[in-house]
Amino acid sequence: MKISIERKMIFLFVIFVISFVSIFFYVRNLFNIVDDGYDQVVSQTKSDTQKKQKMTDVDLKMIRNMAIVKNVAEKYYAQVNSYKGFSFNVIRADNFFTSINEEGCSSQIYLDISPDGKKYIIYYPTCSEGKTSAFCIQNGMEEPILADSSIARKEYRCETLQNMDEYFAEMDKKMFDNTMVIWNYLERYKKEHGSYQGFLVNSIKESGFSTKTDISQCSNEIKTEIFGDGKSYRITYDLCLNDQIICVESGKKWPSYTSKKMLDMRGNDCGL
């Protein structure tokens, strides 16, 4: 009996030792995993910070080069009373460059002279702020401002960045108007041809008309669908500002707003 008890005690002791060792190694491995994960997070954060700083440094160099362009342009204007004919080619400066390609950021300085030669705009889509932002300077400005990249590129003027919700609302209003342009052309086409069949959106020649938004965060497009024998159609546009859709169908005289889920359920109808 005594031997049996001793064996049980030894057996329990062995189990205890094995359990203790197992728990020890498990906890140690767990801490190692946590440490590795923490090190990876710290390393990634450090890498992201370093990249952001590098992109900021690149932007500062490009802003310096924009200032060089401005100064030379002003001297050019003082001599010939016009910016017409001015280009990067007349600039002579140490370390001057108009484009960069650094760690996935390719960007360049743009220079545009107005047809009458009395105005200029210089802008540079940033690396550190994203491609919706541009450093921009035009005649009359002392230094570059952070502006909207698409406005600088398409309208050749420096305009500060808007609140994106306001920008999306402005874009949605424009696309609403363009949806109505398509509707108007469709109805005129039906009167002339007796059917909507064969109608092509690219036949529309309206000033400022577009079927697609021109901002990268919202690349929605107006879709025009002609159904069956050409007796019905549907025009849809996904709003930038929320998850609703502008929808116009044959027989309706005004667009309606509906959800994408409802549109999918109703097939060819707007799902009112």
216-265, pLDDT tens digit by residue? Answer: 567 789 999 998 888 889 999 988 888 888 888 888 777 888 887 777 76
Q: Which of 42-51, 52-61, 162-171, 206-215 has the highest average model confidence (pLDDT)?
A: 52-61
Global pTM exceeds 0.85: no
What are the percentages of helix, strand and coil residues in the chain, rounded to 5?
A: 45, 20, 30
Compute φ and ψ for 238, nearest 5 degrees.
-75, 120
Same structural domain for residues 70 and 118? yes
Of the three residues 130, 155, 180, the one that is the final residue of a domain is 155
Q: Specify the number of domains making up the chain.
A: 2
The residue range of the domain holding 173 is 164-266
Considering the domain boundaries, does residue 114 fall inside one?
yes
Same structural domain for residues 184 and 245? yes
Of the three residues 129, 155, 181, the one that is the final residue of a domain is 155
Same structural domain for residues 206 and 148? no
Of the three residues 120, 137, 155, the one that is the final residue of a domain is 155
218 - beta bridge partners?
Answer: 215
What does the DSSP 8-state code read for residue 161?
P
Considering the domain boundaries, does residue 224 fall inside one?
yes
CA–CA separation, 152 vs 161, rounded Å? 11
pLDDT of residue 49: 73
In the Cβ-directed half-sphere of 144, how many Cα atoms lie within 13 Å? 29
- 13, pLDDT greater than 50: yes
- 41, pLDDT greater than 80: no
Considering the domain boundaries, does residue 9 fall inside one?
no
Closest CA to 248 of 262, 269, 231, 229: 269
- 63, pLDDT greater than 60: yes
pLDDT of residue 181: 92
